[in-house]
Amino acid sequence: MTSQREVALLRLAAQELVGPGAASPADAVRRLGAVQGQDFPGAITSVALRTAARRRKDVEVALDDGEIVRTWPMRGTLHLLAADDLRWMLELLASRALTALTARWAQLGLSETDAERARELVATALAGGRMRRADLLTAIDDGGVSIAGQRGYHLLGYLARTGTLCLGPTDGAGEQLFVLIDDWVPATPARARDEALGELALRFFRGHGPATEHDLARWAGLPLRDVRAGTALARPRLATLDVDGVEHLMDPGTHDRLTACRDEAEGVVLLPGFDEFVLGYRDRTTILAPEFADRIVPGNNGMFRPTVVLGGQVVGTWQWTGRGAKRTVTATPFTSFSRAVTERILERAADLP
């Protein structure tokens, strides 16, 4: 039997938010399987926090070098992926998200004919190059496929999920550029569906565990039957925990990881909004008291605030205030912060990548 609080601390260790960190940004992303990428600057911070060097620049270089890409692999949501995982994850996960968009496409007046014409226009526009979103949408519109309203966003998402394009390097202003997958990402061997399900389960539970099959189903947007098939293949390489009568799975080495850095895990961790530690599970009550749930996503509007974590528990939110030399962090507790915790928040903020 393991307590919910211990589960939270184990997750900090599994996600490499405490301890030595991954050797590279690609390794950090690969361990988790995928990293939430809705907020691009925050996603860079999330990955950097999980590396040994804790440098934003390293993550930016990994994107510019094609080691990491950003796209819509699952649940219609942007994620960062290791480039060598891109094709098999799209093949396994993206089709369910496309099916869920059928009604929305009808509302927008989008058809498969529109999408395939957009694919031709994009292939021509991006041949051997890269483009900003606005310029790529202009090329689609000029080619006779309307991008009015949200049509442009849906067309780019469709072309990403069906293997034509992804977001890769950044320009001088820090905006990610679109590239053709076949030009940007080296070919990788295809995976049979069962193999892919097993690999996905292994990655998720190693990088997020202790977690449940329901957590994986929600995270990946897969039905439980697929999750259970993948878990059955991964199970011999995982450890199990009983948490209030519910089976959780994890990397067998996670206990030792936590033992080596328990003092750090018991302390303060600052996370950007949309971090996997908060969004990577179906049920957040392990790390967040239900009465404070609306504090991290006010009005359930989908915009997750940066969080203060203490001893594995989300205990407040934070934000940058001021500019330049006057920039500082303002933290808002759910109840109160001691002086020691307040001082540690300021220290951790100064160390944020």
Cβ-Cβ contacts under 8 Å for 84 (sequence gap 6 or more): 185, 186, 188
| Residue 143 belongs to some domain of the structure | no
pTM comes to 0.95
What digits encode the pLDDT tens for the residues 90-105? 999 988 888 888 889 9
| Residue 117 belongs to some domain of the structure | no
Q: DSSP letter string over 249-284? A: EE-TTHHHHHHHTHHHHTSEEEE-TT-HHHHSSS--
| Residue 100 belongs to some domain of the structure | no
Q: What beta strand segments (E) does the chain contain?
A: 35-36, 68-74, 77-82, 165-170, 176-180, 239-243, 246-250, 268-271, 307-310, 313-321, 328-333
Domain containing 346 equals 265-350
For residue 288, which amino acid is it? Answer: L
- The residue behind tokens 């440098």 is 55
Domain count, the chain: 1
For residue 208, which amino acid is it? Answer: H
pLDDT of residue 128: 80
pLDDT of residue 99: 81
> In the chain, what is the straight-line distance between the N-terminal and C-terminal CA atoms, in Å?
36
Which stretches of the chain drop beneath a pLDDT of 50? none
| Residue 56 belongs to some domain of the structure | no
What does the alpha-carbon distance between residue 238 and residue 249 come to, in Å, rounded to a whole number? 6
| Residue 297 belongs to some domain of the structure | yes
pLDDT of residue 96: 84
pLDDT of residue 248: 98
CA 157 to chain centre: 16
| Residue 187 belongs to some domain of the structure | no
| Residue 99 belongs to some domain of the structure | no
| Residue 338 belongs to some domain of the structure | yes
pLDDT of residue 231: 98
What digits encode the pLDDT tens for the residues 198-241? 999 999 999 999 999 999 999 999 999 999 999 999 999 999 99
